[in-house]
């Protein structure tokens, strides 16, 4: 791949992942980071660190911050939305109103609370079905990417030319980006692995051991693939970065916030306290509810997600959730 010209990129959302991606892309592009907390942006400009969401990472001097949303939007040819999923709809709506016609990527993972919609469906509703847009997703802990450790992720878009073009612009040796056209598969993989990571945290927290965790990951992948196929995904996508890759990372890595939610649930802590102490979004918590609803509507069996939804939202305790899974009848693999 030859040298690419510097592009103007605006990143919306200054949490852990938005800050990490802004840091990574500012190595070769002009990046401006917008966040809703003006004080936090001032701190980044002053000491080049996001102490609230990405403590200990020295950010590049050339990484600019902008508190004015409209100005950040107007300056850039690529908009990259990295708010929690709950902020995606209003953010892209405002982007389209203030600075239409720019390329759009998002990195949020999950199903919209209340509607069960995937991110690309939200974007299609707000920006039109044929908009120049796609998702960045895959196994990538913010703390590692921000430090320049190697990672590989997918950029998926319906339009193969769009995906190839932005892969060419954004790919770098330490953040390898693979083009994909299966938006549904990539987004379902990224969403449901967060629920599985909560399950893995519960299993590990209860001391069930490595065999149990391997079983959970494997059967979890089968669940994810079933739902993804029912929603129109290609099966092989779930064997790639956005499926198996992200599932393994989040179920086994203690940097995962979703996994940490599971570990704390296994200790008997209450969900509200866990989320308060976490201080970051754990998308699996709201995703679990939406996955269960979608699975029922599409007639897909998802026992692990059902058990985690019951644990998170319907008063079942961790032991009860595990017993429910272990008591299932035998079946063919």
Ligand X SMILES: O=C(CO)COP(=O)(O)O
Ligand Y SMILES: NC(=O)C1=CN([C@@H]2O[C@H](COP(=O)(O)OP(=O)(O)OC[C@H]3O[C@@H](n4cnc5c(N)ncnc54)[C@H](O)[C@@H]3O)[C@@H](O)[C@H]2O)C=CC1
Site residues (CB under 6 A) for ligand X? 109, 139-141, 194, 197, 246, 249-250, 256-258
- Return the number of other C-beta atoms located less than 10 Å from residue 271's C-beta: 15
Q: How far is the CB of 308 from ligand X (least distance, A)?
A: 13
Q: How far is the CB of 191 from ligand Y (least distance, A)?
A: 9
Q: Which is nearer to ligand X, 72 or 188 (CB)?
A: 188
C-alpha angle 138-68-135 in degrees, rounded to nearest 5: 20
Q: Residue 3 class from Cβ within 10 Å (0-12 exposed, 13-18 middle, 19+ buried)?
A: exposed
CA atoms within 13 A on the CB side of 189: 32
Q: Give Cα separations from 1 to 92, 170, 297 (angstroms).
A: 31, 11, 45
Rg (CA), the chain: 19
Output DSSP code: residue 56: T
Task: Summarize as ranges the residues that interact with ligand Y (CB under 6 A).
Answer: 13-18, 35-37, 53, 82-87, 91, 107-110, 140-142, 280-281, 283
The one catalytic residue in 193, 229, 260, 289 is 193
Q: How far is the CB of 139 from ligand X (least distance, A)?
A: 5
Strand order in the sheet with 64-65: 64-65, 30-34, 8-12, 78-81, 103-106, 133-137, 151-156, 175-180
Pick one of ligand Y, ligand X, none as the site partner of residue 15 (Cβ within 5 to 8 A by kind). ligand Y
Q: Which is nearer to ligand Y, 186 or 202 (CB)?
A: 186
Tokens of 277: 């102490």
Pick one of ligand X, ligand Y, none as the site partner of residue 31 (Cβ within 5 to 8 A by kind). none
Q: SS3 for 252? A: helix
Q: How far is the CB of 144 from ligand Y (least distance, A)?
A: 8
| 184 annotated to a ligand binding site | no
Pick one of ligand X, ligand Y, none as the site partner of residue 250 (Cβ within 5 to 8 A by kind). ligand X
Contact status, residue 75 vs residue 7, Cβ threshold 8 Å: no
* Alpha carbon distance 48, 61 (integer Å): 7
| 142 annotated to a ligand binding site | yes
Q: How far is the CB of 70 from ligand X (least distance, A)?
A: 29
Q: Which residue is nearest to ligand Y (CB)?
A: 15
* Alpha carbon distance 43, 310 (integer Å): 41
Pick one of ligand X, ligand Y, none as the site partner of residue 258 (Cβ within 5 to 8 A by kind). ligand X
| 283 annotated to a ligand binding site | yes
Q: Which is nearer to ligand X, 73 or 151 (CB)?
A: 151
| 180 annotated to a ligand binding site | no
* Alpha carbon distance 231, 152 (integer Å): 25
Q: Which is nearer to ligand X, 33 or 249 (CB)?
A: 249
Q: Which is nearer to ligand Y, 94 or 301 (CB)?
A: 94
| Active site (annotated) includes residue 193 | yes
* Alpha carbon distance 89, 58 (integer Å): 31
| 203 annotated to a ligand binding site | no
Please state the residue numbers annotated as binding site for NAD(+). Answer: 13-18, 142, 257
Please state the residue numbers annotated as binding site. Answer: 13-18, 36, 53, 109, 138, 140, 142, 193, 246, 256-258, 281, 283
User: Mind telling me the catalytic residues?
Assistant: 193
């Amino acid at each position: 791949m030859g040298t690419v010209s510097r592009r103007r990129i605006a990143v919306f959302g200054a949490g852990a992942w938005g800050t990490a991606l802004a840091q990574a892309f500012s190595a070769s592009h002009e990046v401006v980071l917008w966040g809703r907390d003006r004080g936090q942006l001032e701190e980044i400009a002053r000491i080049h660190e996001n102490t609230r969401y990405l403590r200990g990472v020295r950010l590049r001097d050339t990484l600019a911050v902008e508190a004015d949303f409209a100005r950040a939007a107007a300056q850039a040819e690529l908009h990259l939305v990295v708010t929690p999923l709950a902020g995606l709809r209003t953010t892209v709506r405002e982007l389209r109103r203030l600075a239409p016609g720019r390329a759009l990527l998002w990195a949020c993972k999950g199903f919209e609370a209340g509607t069960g919609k995937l991110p690309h469906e939200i974007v299609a509703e707000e920006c039109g079905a044929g908009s120049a847009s796609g998702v960045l997703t895959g196994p990538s802990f913010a703390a590692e990417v921000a430090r320049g450790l190697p990672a590989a992720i997918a950029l998926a878009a319906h339009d193969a030319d769009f995906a190839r073009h932005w892969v060419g612009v954004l790919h770098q040796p330490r953040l390898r980006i693979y083009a994909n056209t299966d938006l549904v598969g990539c987004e379902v993989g990224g969403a449901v692995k967060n629920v599985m990571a909560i399950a893995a945290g519960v299993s590990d927290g209860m001391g069930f051991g490595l065999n149990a965790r391997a079983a959970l990951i494997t059967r979890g992948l089968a669940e994810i693939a079933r739902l993804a196929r029912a929603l129109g995904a290609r099966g092989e996508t779930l064997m790639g970065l956005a499926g198996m890759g992200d599932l393994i990372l989040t179920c086994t890595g203690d940097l995962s916030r979703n996994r940490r939610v599971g570990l704390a649930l296994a200790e008997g802590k209450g969900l509200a306290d866990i989320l308060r102490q976490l201080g970051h979004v754990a998308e699996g918590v709201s995703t679990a509810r939406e996955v269960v609803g979608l699975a029922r509507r599409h007639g897909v069996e998802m026992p692990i997600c059902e058990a985690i939804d019951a644990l998170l939202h319907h008063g079942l305790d961790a032991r009860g959730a595990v017993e429910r899974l272990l008591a299932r009848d035998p079946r063919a693999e």
